[in-house]
């Protein structure tokens, strides 16, 4: 019997939050568990801390186990909350002892849904949510900005920069309105079939999720398919499989949103009078005291930073009843993730102009492969309805391989082909 500190969260609780990652729904639902999301951009993974940080220099992430498979890549964006039956959080050493040192920061056990005999069900779930910016800092308009600049220069040099004979540009741009959306939409749709008859149970599900970012040029979308099958061939032999395939795409904005408030001067236009991007780096009148400006709207339009990922997570298992009270289970599982990151700045971007009005970009490829074999022999017996004895022997083997390859270059002549035309770039 399991003893120790364990919290359980049902799957229907996790679906009450519209999010790309089911871990975000854990916040406030388990004592001693904190969900930290320092990066709120779409597709980012929250950090989970169970009973605080256990180390200053080493990792503090808990081990995540999905249907008995310990994940090396603990990103759960590829798993739909609608596919989860329950989530158990093991908080102390006694409950997580079987996982050894990997469970030092706690363990999160995720069990996905399965079909039930005699119950054929079709379930359709559609949810939508919105994100809105809150408590944005107030920024100076043109008149207040000019007063601020003049006050600073009067204090420093004894005379203002702008005056009736030397006026500031007649421009008033609110960069928050130009870059930050008032409302970003999230959509989540799931369709599943489950049931069972005689000796077979099944579940087949699909999920589509999309999320727009609060900041322009950011977003996330994913598609997942899952099947869980279980068949009893004999009274002493049961076999089954869990299989999930997923594809996701994340669009990232490179420049931090805080730069809007640092460099977004209201006297700098978004575009020139001819419709081209305005690339003024600074006002020469005040360049010696303030950092140069930039154009976040053009950077969003002329930049692509996209991470595409394909992932397969699955296992096959067999359960044997060797004798009365004696069972043996063996399973083999794989977790394969292929990721491509494509980053490109066009010839019209600030980086492109800095490299001689040519494009600059990179491509990176990453592959993570994890294989697992588990063999578990268990004996359990009870005497006189009072005394019980249980013994378990476990042999587990897991291998993890990480590979990456990347190339970066500048001098791209054709923005249409971008960084895909790496042959003609100056590589580094």
- For 114-124, the pLDDT digits (tens) are 999 988 999 99
Q: Average pLDDT over the chain, rounded to whole? A: 87
pLDDT digits (tens, 9 = 90+) for 127-159: 998 888 888 888 899 999 999 989 988 998 888
- Mean pLDDT, residues 52-68: 81
Distance (Å, whole) CA 14 – CA 331: 28
**Could you report the per-residue pLDDT of 178-197, keeping only the tens digit for each?**
888 899 999 999 999 999 99
Measured CA to CA, the distance from residue 378 to residue 24 in angstroms comes to 35
User: How far apart are alpha carbons 210 and 222 in whole angstroms?
Assistant: 7
Instruction: Please give the distance of CA 64 from its chain centroid, rounded to a whole number.
Output: 15
Angstrom distance (rounded) from CA 240 to CA 317: 5
| pLDDT-derived band at 1, boundaries 50, 70, 90 | low
**Rounded to an integer, what distance in angstroms lies between the CA atom of residue 367 and that of residue 401?**
8
Q: In this predicted structure, what is the pLDDT of residue 357?
A: 76
Confidence of residue 94 (pLDDT cuts 50, 70, 90): confident
> What per-residue confidence (pLDDT) applies to 254?
75
Residue 281 has pLDDT above 60, yes or no: no
What strand order describes the sheet that includes 426-427? 121-131, 184-197, 200-212, 219-234, 237-251, 303-323, 326-345, 359-383, 387-412, 426-427
pLDDT greater than 80 at residue 95: no
**Among 249, 209, 201, CA closest to 225:** 209
Q: Of the given ranges (247-256, 323-332, 370-379), which has the lowest mean pLDDT?
A: 247-256
Nearest CA-CA partner of 18 in 161, 249, 266, 210? 210
pLDDT at 195: 95
Give yes or no for residue 259 having a pLDDT over 90: no
pLDDT over 90 percentage in the chain: 44
pLDDT interval class at 56 (50, 70, 90): low
Asked if residue 428 has pLDDT above 80, the reply is: no
Q: What is the pTM of this model?
A: 0.85
Render pLDDT for 376-396 as a digit per residue (tens, 0 to 9). Answer: 999 999 988 888 999 999 999
Dihedrals φ, ψ of 142, to 5°? Answer: -60, -50
Q: What is the 3-state secondary structure (H, E, C) of the chain?
A: CCCCCEEEEEHHHHCCCCCCCHHHHHCCCCCCEEEECCCCCCCCCCEEEECCCCCCCCCCCCEEEECCEECCCCCCCCCCHHHEEEEEEECCCCCCHHHHHHHCCCEEEEEECCCECCECEEEEEEEEEEECCCCCCCCCCHHHHHHHHHHHHHHHHCCCCCCCCCCCCCCCCCHHHHHECCCEEEEEEEEEEEEEECCEEEEEEEEEEEEECCECCCEEEEEEEEEEEEEEEECCEEEEEEEEEEEEEEECCCCCCHHHHHHCCCCCCCECCCCCECCCCCCCCCCCCCCCCCCHHHHHHCEEEEEEEEEEEEEEEEEEEEECCEEEEEEEEEEEEEEEEEEEECCCCHHHHHCCCCEEEEEEEEEEEEEEEEEEEEEEEEECCCEEEEEEEEEEEEEEEEEEEEEEEEEECCCCCHHHCHHHCEEC
| CA–CA dist 415, 409 (Å, integer) | 13
pLDDT in tens, 159-168: 898 888 888 8
Which residue ranges make up each domain of the chain? 6-112, 126-427
Confidence label for 314 from pLDDT (cuts 50, 70 and 90): very high
Residue 285 scores a pLDDT above 70: no
Please provide the distance, in angstroms rounded to a whole number, between the alpha carbons at the two ends of the chain.
58
Q: pLDDT tens digits, residue range 335-346? A: 999 999 999 999
Residue 290, pLDDT > 60, answer no
Residue 46 has pLDDT above 90, yes or no: no
Q: Regarding the domain with residue range 6-112, which homologous superfamily does it belong to in the CATH classification?
A: TonB-dependent receptor, plug domain (2.170.130.10)
Cβ-based neighbours of 243, under 8 Å, separated by 6 or more: 226, 227, 228, 312, 313, 314, 315
pLDDT of 57 higher than 70: no
**Do residues 339 and 309 touch, judged by C-beta distance below 8 A?**
yes
Which is more confident, 223 or 284? 223
What is the structure's pLDDT at 405?
Answer: 95
Task: Tell me the residue length of the chain.
Answer: 428
């Amino acid at each position: 019997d399991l003893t120790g500190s364990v919290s359980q969260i049902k799957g229907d609780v996790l679906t009450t939050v519209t999010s790309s990652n089911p871990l975000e729904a854990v916040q406030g639902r388990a004592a001693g568990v904190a969900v930290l999301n320092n990066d709120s951009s779409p597709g980012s993974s929250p950090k989970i801390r169970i009973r605080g940080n256990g180390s200053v220099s080493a990792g503090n992430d808990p081990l995540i186990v999905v249907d008995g498979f310990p994940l090396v890549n603990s990103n759960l964006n590829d798993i739909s909350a609608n596919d989860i039956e329950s989530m158990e959080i093991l908080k102390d050493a006694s409950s997580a002892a079987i996982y050894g040192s990997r469970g030092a920061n706690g363990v999160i056990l995720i069990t996905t849904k399965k079909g039930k005999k005699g119950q054929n069900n079709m379930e359709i779930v559609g949810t939508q949510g919105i994100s809105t910016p809150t408590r944005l800092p107030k920024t100076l308009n043109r008149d207040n900005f000019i007063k601020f600049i003049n006050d600073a220069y009067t204090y420093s040099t004894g005379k203002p920069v702008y005056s009736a004979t030397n006026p500031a540009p007649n421009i008033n741009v609110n960069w928050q309105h130009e870059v930050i959306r008032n409302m970003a939409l999230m959509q989540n749709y799931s369709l599943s079939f489950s049931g069972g008859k005689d000796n077979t149970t099944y579940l087949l599900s699909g999920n589509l999720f999309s999320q727009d970012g609060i900041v322009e040029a950011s977003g996330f979308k994913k598609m997942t398919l899952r099947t869980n099958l279980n068949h009893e061939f004999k009274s002493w032999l049961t076999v089954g499989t869990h299989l999930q395939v997923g594809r996701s795409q994340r669009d990232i904005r490179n420049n931090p949103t805080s730069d809007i408030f640092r460099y977004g001067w209201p006297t700098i236009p978004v575009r020139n009078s001819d419709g081209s991007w305005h690339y003024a780096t600074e006002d020469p009148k005040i360049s010696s005291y303030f950092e140069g400006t930039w154009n976040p709207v053009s950077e969003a339009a002329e930049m692509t930073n996209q991470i595409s990922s394909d992932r397969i997570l699955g296992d096959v298992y067999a359960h044997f009843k060797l004798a009365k009270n004696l069972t043996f289970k063996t399973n083999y599982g794989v977790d394969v993730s292929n990721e491509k990151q494509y980053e490109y700045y066009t010839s019209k971007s600030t980086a492109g102009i800095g490299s001689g009005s040519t494009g600059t970009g990179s491509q990176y490829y990453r592959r993570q492969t994890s294989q697992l074999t588990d063999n578990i022999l268990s004996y359990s017996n009870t005497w006189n309805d009072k005394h019980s004895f249980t013994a378990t022997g476990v042999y587990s083997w897991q291998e993890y391989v990480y590979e990456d390859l990347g190339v970066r270059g500048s001098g791209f002549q054709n923005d249409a082909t971008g960084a895909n035309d790496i042959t003609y770039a100056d590589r580094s």
